[in-house]
Every structure is written in C-alpha cells, then in structure tokens.
Structure 1
Amino acid sequence: MSRQGWEDSDFPILCETCLGPNPYVRMTRQGYGKECKICGRPFTIFKWNPGQGMRNKKTEVCQTCAKVKNVCQTCVLDLEYGLPVQVRDSVLQVQDDIPHSDVNREFFIASVEGKLGNDSLINYAKADSSARDQLKKMSRPEPYYKRNRPHICSFYVKGECKRGDECPFRHEVPVENDLSHQNIRDRYYGKDDPVAKRMLNRTDKASKLSNPEDTSITSLFITGIDEEINEQDLRDYFYAFGEVKSIVVIQKSKCAFVNYATRAAAELAVDKSYNNLNIKGKVLRVQWGKARPQGPKGDVQTEVGTVVPTPQPAKQGTTLDQLLNMPPAPPPPGAGPSFYPSQDPNMLGTSNREFRA
C-alpha cells in the first residue's frame, strides 16, 4: 500500500478533557507511527501529558475516522457534547452507514476523505431542537479531568508494589462490572457500549412521578446537592411554582427538603422538575417526601410536626438529677405560645426595672 493519501497532520483532534487544563501542554509527534484502530491505516500519532498527576495520553484513531463520527481521536467521544456515540445517535436518530468489513470500509473512507475537509458527516444544525436540548442536559457542563487519572497498579493488586507514594499508578482495588469490558470499536460504532447503555437506561425512566395518596405531603426530597448549591439557589428555582414554607439543605448527605405551603404547588414543582432539574450545571433528582410519623396517643403532636413525649409523674425514690433531666410538661390546650422575657411582645420597650417590679 502506498503512503500517498495517508494522514499527515500537525495537530490532533481532541476534546477539552483529553487535552487537559495545562495551557502549555507539550506534545511529541511521530509521522505514520501507528495504525488506526478503526480503519487500520497508519496515521500521525501524538503523545502528551494532560497535567500533574495524570497519565500520558495518545491518539488512537486517525483524523479521517474522527471526522466521520465527529469524535475525539483519543477518547472517541462526541466533540460537541462529550457523550458516547451510541447515546448521540439514539437521541438524534442517526443511522450508522459506515461499513464494517475491511474492503468496504477502506473504499468508504477513501471516498469521503477528500470531501470532508474540516467538516464532519454529523450535521447538528439539521437536528431537532428538542433532541439538542436533551443532549445538552445529558452532557457535562465542564471537562471531566478525572478521566485522565493513572491506571490501577497491577503490582498493587497482587500485593507486590514496593514503590509506595512514588508509584505513578493508582493504588486501588479494581471493581469488576460491565464498565470493565470496553473497547474502542464498540464505542466508535455505537454498538454494545456499556457506558451508553447506562445513560440511556437512566433517561428511559418514566417522565412523570406518581403523586402519593396522602394529600398532607407537601415536601420534596432533592438529591445530588453539591457544595456550590445553597439554600438561596433552591429557593430561586422552586419559588416560581408556589409559596415555599421552608428549605432545609443537608450538605453532609448531599440532599435537601423543600416544603411547600400547598399540595398544588408541590405537584406543579414535581411535574416541571422530575428528570429535568439542573441548577448551576448540576443534575439534581426530585422525589416526594415521606409522611410525618404519628406518635402514640400519650404524646403531643406540635405544630411543626415534632413529637414531644408526655412527662410521667415522678416515682418515689427519684433522684434530683433524674428530676432535672425529665422533659417539661406540655402547655395546656388553648394556651398561647410562651416567650422569654426579652421576647414577650407585651413587654417590648419596658426597662429591666419595670419588668422586675
């Protein structure tokens, strides 16, 4: 085979994640140094390090194959949205017309190589606006540099690594699941990609959340809360659906509770936010809250839903410490709220001398 027409490029086609955060990245270039893992033709390969603490990366497919699918030469993910090819083609309803056999594939690539130029066969401008919006919601708003971490140290898995902190590989125990069996060909052609299957299964869930039968439930349970999301961010989003009584954010558990004043407002918020909640680029999940537990008959149910146990009379022989630790007696029925002296609205403006008198 002649080298005429083979790829000879000056810079690779990469996504922002594979390129790395370092603006002064240094690359090595080797002409015809490797064969493409898709078409098998030799192409110019590039090698570089994305940043400190990351593994060295290199191009895996030629530029022609990358342009045909509009993917990165290294990770083989879509350049526009950073999604697997199978997810993108499923949402945009794009048919894979690339032949898989050797002879037909070589003829197809040779015929489109001169026509592509700097363009791709995937035309996003002709795609439906709703499909583009769905891809945008599924994509990450920022580069995912965690994908550039070093590989797991095989000696550490065997218990034989003696380099300790100086080892350039990760000291972790590998997890065996469906994501452990990936290959570039399946990812490129969009066939049996385990990452794409997980993402599609996540979006194929019901678009509506059934309302609980208990009409007293007016609270929503939000998961996926990040440190960047605070109470005001949630209030700015959920107040549009109705009056919000309170919002409780639990950063340690990465969740929050949104309590509405009416059931109609809570139902509207669920209808508009279920599988469609994105705050500050973070995808959050909305679920209904659970009903408040009802206490026994001897307990007093307060206005905010907390259960205060009814104190029992002191038994004979009770010590002083036990008496001091006993809960206070509940207020009699019909009694108004109790205040500290400084909080009594009837005593506002009075001096300490007048109050003592």
Structure 2
Amino acid sequence: MSKNESLQTWEDSEFPILCETCLGENPYVRMTKERFGKECKVCAKPFTVFRWLPGRGMRYKKTEICQSCAKLKNVCQTCILDLEHGLPVQVRDSALGLEDAAPRDDINRRHYMENQARTDTPLDFSGRANPAGREMLKRMARRGPYYERNKPHLCSFFAKGTCTRGNECPYRHELPKADGELAKQNIIDRYHGTNDPVAKRMLARSSAKVDGLAPPDDKSIASLFLVGLTAETSADDIKGYFYAYGEVKSVNVVPAKGCAFVNFKTRAGAEAAAQAVIGGCVIGGKSIRVAWGRARPKGPRADAPKPTTAGAPPPPPGSTRAMAYPSQDPTAQGAQPK
C-alpha cells in the first residue's frame, strides 16, 4: 500500500463523538485538536485526537478510539460506553441478544468496517425489535451524567507517602481501594463486550433481581407491590402501564407512603407483568421497584376472644361511649299495664 493510499484511510474529524459525562458540565469547554495524533486502540488506524478539561477539579480527557469504531458500536470515543443508555457494551448486547460480529484481526476488520460504512442499514442498537431487552436497558440506564468518572487519578506518590506538593498536587490524595477484578479493565474487551468486569457486576445484580421476582407458591396471589412512587403518580398512570400484560382489577395507591398495589384479574396476568418488569420499571420518568404482594387474611381469627361488657367499669361522667340501656318495653321492667 502506497503512502497516499494509507493517508486516505486515516481519519480526520472536526469534533469527537462523546457522551454527556465525558464532555463535562462546562458549557465553554475548550479542546485541543491534533490531526493523526494517535492510533486507534481498536483498529490501530491514525485518527484525530481531541483533548479537553471537562470541568473544574477534574482531569484532562482525550479520545481513545476513532470515529469509525465508535459509530460501529454506537459508543463514546472516550469511555467506550453506549451513547443512548450509558451502559457497557456487554450489558447492552446481552439485553438485546446481539453478538459481536466485528473481527479482531487487521485485514478482516478493515474489510468489515468498509462494508458497514457502505451499507444503508447500520446496526440497530435501539432495541425496537426486542421490547423486553429495551425495557431492561431503560431500567438499568443512568438518568443523568455521572461526573464522578472525571475525577483526577490517584496520586501514586501520596500512596507511597512521598508527595510533597500538598494542595497544589493535581491528583487525588486518597489511598487506592482493592477493587480486585475491576482494576483489570482494558479498552479492547470493553469495546467488544467480552470479559468486562463492570458489565459482569451489573448483570449479576440484574440476575439477583430476577430471582427476587420469582412467582410465589400461593396461586391466589395476583397482585404486585410498587415502591418509589411520586406524589404526582396516579392510579390511571399505573393502570395504563400494566394493562398491556393483563386485565387490571384495581389499583390502590398510598400517596403518603409512595407505594401502590396493582391487583390483576388473573394470576397469568400478574406473572406476565412481573416477568416484564424484572428489576423495576419506569413510570412517569421515575424508577419504581416491584415485588409480589402477599396473600390477604381469610376472615378474622377463630380463636380470637370476643369483646364483652361483663364486669366493665362504668364510663366516666361526660363520656360519649355507647352504653347498653335496658329495654324500653314497660313490661320488661316489671311495670304493670294500665
């Protein structure tokens, strides 16, 4: 391949593809731009590198992969997280049932990316064809930017006890935590969605929530318990969300507690709704936790003592407690009829 042909495959861009978290909260962010300043960590192709400071007290960030690779997976060029949901690629692909078809060797990867660039129907990561997976991603997605990821790195000299810069040190003076597997992350695995420790932890939490919504053995239970409702959430909003899974008999909302009970007409409808909202649901833009209801008690207890008035002390003067008066029948009091 000649030098001119190589230059044609290099990437020259005007602005990076970033998520809101990596871009930062500063509306007047300044970026430095270096054409062909670095090789992409996925495809090893030279690309335009951008570098900027997301905000005060944060660390400088830069793009790590080229735009071609970012578009291929719909991820941020810096954090390699999904642009729509802010989740790792492995979590998104597991929820939507997608497989990583991008080859890892240089020749096949270049041919695959060229074919994807020419195609008119790019890969769909929205989850329209998989409503259950899209609902799962909607529950797991972070609602707003998470600027904690932009904090400065830890100061290695502080960990050794030899940092002499004090408050002028641009790095964090904190001791590193033993995160174990989380400390072994790399961009290649994160991009391809394989062996990502962060994704494994998130999927494990999701599986625990799946086990927590197992149907109870009592077949008479056909209600779900919702927690985390806002004061603006009405019974009609809840009924409009759950009616697609089965006929809803009633919805009982307790505004003071921020909870509600959804009673289905059939057990099958309750099980379908529980399966669809594993891990929670989103009603009115608020994430709601869902659990199975409990069986109602079947009448009063037979062994409960009945209240009696025998031997009860007389009520105090002025009391409004009801009293048992004698019969008004004059013959019952021994009176003689006239």
TM-score range, shorter chain: 0.5 to 0.7
Identity of aligned residues (%): 47
How many Å separate the matches in 1 of 2:310 and 2:61?
73
CA-CA distance at 1:75 after TM superposition = 0.8
Work out which of the residue numbers 175, 185, 202 in structure 1 matches 2:205. 202
1:187 aligns with 2:202: no
Map 1:143-292; keep pairs closer than 5 Å. 143-175=145-177, 176-204=179-207, 205-206=210-211, 208-211=213-216, 222=227, 258=259, 271=274, 275-278=279-282, 281=285, 283-286=287-290
Could you tell which deviates more after superposition, 63-72 or 120-129?
A: 120-129
Cα 1:198–1:333, aligned 2, differ >3 Å: closer, same or farther? farther
The RMSD of aligned alpha carbons is 4.5
Q: Which has the higher contact order (CA 8 A, sep 6+)?
A: 2
Residues 58-87 of structure 1: CA distance to partner in whole angstroms, max 9, x if unpaired?
A: 000011111111211111111222221112
Correspondence for 1:87 among 84, 91, 114: 91
Query: CA 1:334/1:212 → structure 2, altered by over 3 Å: closer, same or farther?
Result: farther
1:66-77 equivalences in 2 (<5 Å): 66-77=70-81
Is the Cα–Cα contact under 8 Å of residues 77 and 85 in structure 1 kept in the other structure?
yes
C-alpha deviations, 1:223-249, integer Å up to 9, x for none? xx6xxx766659997799857586666
2:11 aligned residue: 7
Instruction: Give the Cα separation in 2 of the matches to 1:234 and 1:126.
Output: 28
2:44 match: 40
Aligned partners of 1:235 and 1:247 also within 8 Å: no
Instruction: Report deviation, 1:220.
Output: 6.2
Q: Secondary structure at the match of 1:112?
A: helix
How far off is 1:126 after superposition?
Answer: 7.5
Deviation at 1:97, TM superposition (A): 1.7
Cα pair distance change 1:287/1:94, threshold 3 Å = closer
Out of 114, 118, 121, the position equivalent to 1:115 is: 118
Change (3 A) 1:136 1:288: closer
2:213 partner letter: K
| C-alpha displacement of 1:345 | 11
Deviation of 1:4 (Å): 2.4
Asked if the contact 1:150–1:168 (Cα under 8 Å) also holds between the matched residues in 2, the reply is yes
The aligned runs of 1:44-55 (5 Å cut-off) are 44-55=48-59
Alignment correspondent of 1:136: 138
CA shift for structure 1 position 53: 1.8
SS in 1 for 2:22: helix
Question: What SS is found at the alignment partner of 1:61?
Answer: coil
Counterpart in the other structure of 2:105: 101
Which shifted more, 165-174 or 177-186? 165-174
SS of 1:11's partner is coil
Cα distance, 1:25 vs structure 2: 1.0
Structure 1: segments with no counterpart, 5+ residues? 250-255, 291-331, 347-357
Deviation at 1:195, TM superposition (A): 1.5
Match of 1:17 in 2: 21
Q: Deviations over 1:4-34 (max 9, x none)?
A: 2210111111111111122211100001111
* Separation in 2, partners of 1:209, 1:146: 35
2:57–2:151 contact (8 Å) kept in structure 1: yes
1:208 is displaced (CA, Å) by 2.5
Structure 2 unaligned spans of 5+: 241-247, 295-308, 323-338
Contact 1:67-1:121 at 8 Å conserved across structures = no
Gap change, CA 1:345 and 1:18, over 3 Å in 2: farther
CA pair 60-244 structure 1, distance change in 2 beyond 3 A: same
Q: 1:274 to 1:48 in 2, by over 3 A?
A: same
CA distance in 2, matches of 1:182, 1:334: 78
Q: Equivalents in 2 of 1:160, 1:283: separation in Å?
A: 46
Tell me, what secondary structure is at the counterpart of 1:83?
A: coil
Q: CA separation in 1, counterparts of 2:224 and 2:26?
A: 45
The CA deviation at 1:187 is 0.5
Match of 2:297?
none
Secondary structure of 1:4's aligned partner: helix
Amino acid at match of 1:166: E
What TM-score, normalized to structure 2? 0.67
Aligned pairs, number: 290
